[in-house]
A and B are shown apart, each in its own frame.
Chain A
Amino acid sequence: MTWTRSALGVLALGTSALLLTGCGASGDGGGGGNGGGANDGTGEITGSIEIAWWGGDARNEKTNAVIDMFVEANEGVEANGQSADFQAYFDRLNVQAASQSLPCAVQLQGRQLNDYTSRDLLLPLDPMIESGAIDVSDIPEAVVDAGRGEDGNLYFLPYGAAYDAVGINTTLAEQAGVELPEEGYTWDDFVTFLEDAAAGLPEGTRAIDSNGGRPNFFIGWTQANGKTLFSEDGKLGFSQDDLVEYWTMWEDLREAGVTETAERTAEEPSGPDQGYFANGQLMSDTIPGNALTPVTAVLEGKGEGHEVTTIAYPSGPEGSGNALYPSGFAIPASCDNVPTAAAFVDFFTNDMEAGLVFASDNGAATNTAVLEAQLADPELSETKKHELELFQEIVANDPPTIVFPPGYQATFEAAFRQAYEQIAFGNQSVEEAAAAFIEQANAGLGG
């Protein structure tokens, strides 16, 4: 009998020991200090770093090629890249954050940035810019600002600026007998355009997806109409009436049969090259600007001769509705090789050769010299060229910079889609859903 008792003793001991290490490791959390002069990014560029990003095979290949160039250019440096699809990437990133083992260069967007900055997990890059370790002179200021946190410090250096655009299937538009909206068109013009088109579209096609649940479209609408998206304290800045107005607009379109049905939108696959627009079943849709190339390829595969193009989001009394959503690399406070990480961040964003290899795979290159070099390349495909030129046009129109409060990606985006689904499937009135959404979002935002 004695063995059992001692075995149980061991069991209890082992467990509590584990518990202690578990708590201890997590207990160190949050306080990741970033004091000290070493964090201005100066110092010897050597040793090994981990680099993490999201993306599929095509992007991995390009990123790895750039990493190889970086290693070659810096003797004594070893770099290992780790990538995964967007959602899996963040699952892993958060687990790594929980155990204080974040890679030294992690890719982020403004949409999640402040989840990390509000817990002091990232190093501000401003000292590294001052020390010259990171160069931002070739990047438009509006674009750099998209990498700033709530406290105004720069936390990631945008290397590629994604934007959303209205994709238009010009073949279908022609069949419907409508002219493309002209530059500077408003939301009212856009709605009229859709309604006019709906009447003349061939069977089996619709004017646009049921888009009331897409946060980026809504952001475009608020910016064009001068609404505040987020208040100073990181809560919602627009009113329930604003949201009701917006969703009513979409509901009117859906009920009139201008948009896709709620059911079909619910089952639509998430990748822009998999959606109904890429299938030639929609005359227009909101798509990421850099989806034009894959969408064109899919439509070619259909062999029905459909052609597509992209135009900027509708604008309004307050100007452009096109926000930029740049991605860039951040350096965690737990990084033990800041000089090398800073050198990599700078290299990835500013090196000309690297920029040409990466070829604006994740949004247009933010470095203007790199962007122009890409545009000057005679090999550049027509669609890719259009993507980059539209980006230039949007930047020229002084796009708004949005600081997303902590909890944005976690709470706002999912809740927004769910709330509109409740309306589209007839479970709630627009007012009810708007009220419920505002309450839910405010509870999760600004954390």
Chain B
Amino acid sequence: MTQQLAPGIIADAPGSQWSKGTRSRSKRREALVALLFLTPWLIGLVLLTLGPMLYSLYLSFTDYDLLSAPTWVGLDNFVEMTTDPRFLASVGVTLIYVAVSVPLLLVVSMLVALLLNSKMKFLTGYRALFYLPSLIGASVAIAALWRQVFGDEGLLNAFLAFLGIEHGSWVGNPDTALGTIVVLTVWAFGSTMIIFLAGLRQVPGELYEAASVDGAGPLRRFFSITVPMLTPLIFFNALMGTINAFQAFTGAYVISGGTGGPVNSTLFYTLYLYQRGFAQLDMGYASAMAWLLVLVLAAFTALFFWSSRYWVFYGDK
């Protein structure tokens, strides 16, 4: 197919001298090319993604227990949320988590990426090792590991005791349990770091050379070259980090054994959604929660994109 299309596009290539007719023809051709490029995604969207999504939207207005047919209840699920104490608790937990973990994750992964973006010995080894934690972030083994670190008899307390400080369990205390999950998230900074690293590799070296000639110091070069060149990826990581944080599930699920405890202190939004949908067989309510989250995230995403005009610089502009 490539072969058949290519000549036509080549003929149209010198765009500046197009007449009005050829321009619209070439536009149509470009749209056709775009359709070809988009075909796999469109098929997936129509056949695999949209159907289940819209079905869950329908379910959000029903009472659905998975085991028997859904019955329409209108807005009942949404109304129930306003007085459901565990729902409200989960919103609070999630908001705190998003506000704390996203900036922390971005800063830490950016710093380590910068540290690892230089010529030095064992660089590959370092990168692989720093990346390791994010490889097992979701494993069933992690709960046991986390207790070894943050439990009552864990590593952290052993260290504190060495300094003469006594402290109880971190995982088992409602005031600190959420903190340990933030640490877990930041600990697995590898993915975010890798994206920054790959972006740093794309910053053309000539820019730095030119800046150096102009006498810019390292800090200035960082803020006047690195940061602007990285903004598309900072934007990406910030947006995805926010979306992921709102949807955070695995860490809390594994560490609290699916309970969200102690005392709902790690009851993330999606964890509660899962509890309602699967453990309590209340998929209608879970779907309603999911679509409320979609609305909130859509607003956040729109805000991000709107703000991006002011601070994100694309190379294609």
Contacts and interface: CB of A to CB of B under 8 A. Distances in A.
Q: In the complex, is A directly touching B at CB under 8 Å? A: yes
Interface of A: 1, 3-4, 7, 10-11, 14-15, 17-19, 22-23, 26-30, 87, 90-91, 94-95, 97-98, 115-116, 119, 121, 261-270, 407, 410-411, 414, 417-418, 421-422, 425, 427, 444, 447
B46 A15 contact: yes
Contacts of B169: 263-264, 266-267
Interface in B25-42: 28, 31-32, 35, 42
Contacts of A90: 278-279
14 contacts: A11-B42, A11-B45, A14-B47, A23-B55, A90-B278, A95-B66, A263-B152, A263-B172, A263-B173, A263-B262, A266-B172, A266-B177, A270-B257, A425-B174
B204 interface: no
Given A94-B278, A115-B281, A267-B151, A18 B67 contact: no
Select the residue from B54, B68, B168, B258 with max chain A CB neighbours within 10 A: B68
A7 B42 contact: yes
Select the residue from A7, A261, A266 with max chain B CB neighbours within 10 A: A266
Contacts of A262: 172, 262
Contact of B172 (A26, A267, A447): A267
B280 A444 contact: yes
B67 A119 contact: yes
A51 B46 CA distance: 35
B268 to A, nearest CB: 15
Given A18-B55, A414-B275, A267 B67 contact: no
A270 B253 CA distance: 13
In order of increasing CB-CB distance, the 10 nearest A-B pairs are A18-B51, A267-B172, A30-B68, A266-B262, A266-B172, A263-B172, A14-B46, A263-B169, A29-B69, A410-B280
B207 interface: no
Contacts of A265: 172
A331 to B, nearest CB: 16
Interface residues of B, number: 45
Interface of B: 28, 31-32, 35, 42, 45-47, 50-52, 54-55, 58, 64-70, 143-144, 147, 151-152, 168-169, 171-174, 177, 257-259, 261-264, 275, 278-281
A282 to B, nearest CB: 14
A27 B69 contact: yes
A119 B69 CA distance: 10
A11 B44 CA distance: 10
Contact of B259 (A18, A417, A444): A417
A421 B262 contact: yes
A115 B278 CA distance: 12
A4 B31 contact: yes
Contact of A7 (B35, B58, B144, B264): B35
A30 B50 CA distance: 26
A30 B262 contact: no
